Amino acid sequence: MNTITYSIDSDRGLPDVSNDDARMRGARCNRIAMPAVTRPRAACLIGWPAAHSRSPLIHHYWLRTLGIEGGYNIEAVPPEGFAEFVLHLSTHGFVGANVTIPHKERALALTTPDQRARAVGAANTLWYEGNELRSTNTDIEGFVGNLDACAPGWDAATDDALVLGAGGASRAVVFGLVERGVKRVHLANRTVERAHALADQFGARVHPTSWDKVGDLLPRAGLLVNTTSLGMHGQPALGIDAGRLPPHAVVADLVYVPLETPLLAAARARGLKTADGLGMLLHQAVRGFELWFGQRPTVTPELRALVEADLTKP
């Protein structure tokens, strides 16, 4: 099995990918040697590829500001080596891990998942309880936590939410809205059968609808959430008229490249409260850090500015 461990640039909190091509051909980098007895707690991100994740930047910021001696590595693990790596995670020196594409569904099957991971059908955070490797999906609390930070009280003013898209990200959003008590979650997808499948899973408060009915639902939507890739750099525009939303509506977009999507720009032009995809990325990282290092971190303006600068650099 060829796994690739990326060293972290301590000044930037990001992986050193200067020799990335050679590594992806099968070379394995050596980790920095540390005494076995005094080695700090460490977590990692497992993906394939994984080198350009912002997770190290986020977690090293928290380690530094909280004064915790610890580490966060990137482990590029191909699909054929994932099971061996995860089942021996502690042997590799880690107390837990984040999991990204293409491993999230496999991680669910190899661990003991909680209700959230089972509901979403994918795990993105692993940790040990004793000798048992547990898993959860923090996209749910990342989405809801970001809404709470950007639009406090949003749930009290939301009887109807309109969610666009019925993919993996939509599962986390719908679960979070149902769990938070939203009365009606209207789920629109171009393939309406996928929306029906999610409604069957999440219960009577989820109402599947076809994409051509979105315009009719906008005037009653207290919350509009885009979980599709539409509006992302290189993708077609979403084509939703934010002007039809009520004046109290909140608009959330899971896309964070660009940071301000056309949907968010239109909503802000109307004076509506918004929640962007970068905020969700930051908030979803909180629980994993707490599980691994024992302290709950805070999403601060300084952290956001740090990640924004990295996302927008030439």
Residue 74 in contact with residue 5, Cβ under 8 Å?
Answer: yes
pLDDT of residue 290: 98
pTM of the model: 0.85
pLDDT of residue 48: 94
Tell me 33's DSSP state.
Answer: P
Q: Cα–Cα–Cα angle for 96, 4, 78, nearest 5°?
A: 80
pLDDT of residue 37: 39
pLDDT of residue 157: 87
- What is the token pair recorded at 257? 């490249």
Q: Residues of the chain whose pLDDT is less than 50?
A: 10-12, 17-37
* pLDDT tens per residue, range 184-241: 999 999 999 999 999 999 999 999 999 999 999 999 999 999 999 999 989 999 999 9
pLDDT of residue 207: 98
E-state strands within the chain: 4-6, 8-9, 14-15, 41-47, 70-76, 96-99, 112-113, 125-129, 132-136, 160-164, 184-189, 206-210, 223-226, 250-253, 273-275
Residue 40 in contact with residue 71, Cβ under 8 Å?
Answer: yes
Which residue in 50, 68, 49 sits closest to 60, CA to CA?
A: 68
Q: Quick one: three-class SS letters along 136-197?
A: ECCHHHHHHHHHHHHCCCHHHHCCEEEEECCCHHHHHHHHHHHHHCCCEEEEEECCHHHHHH
> Considering 104, 183, 213, 273, which one is annotated as catalytic?
104
Residue 59 in contact with residue 72, Cβ under 8 Å?
Answer: yes
Residue 277 in contact with residue 115, Cβ under 8 Å?
Answer: no
pLDDT of residue 39: 82
pLDDT of residue 52: 79
183 assigned to active site: no
pLDDT of residue 278: 96
pLDDT of residue 1: 57
pLDDT of residue 314: 81
In the numeric block, the tokens 């909140």 are attached to 250
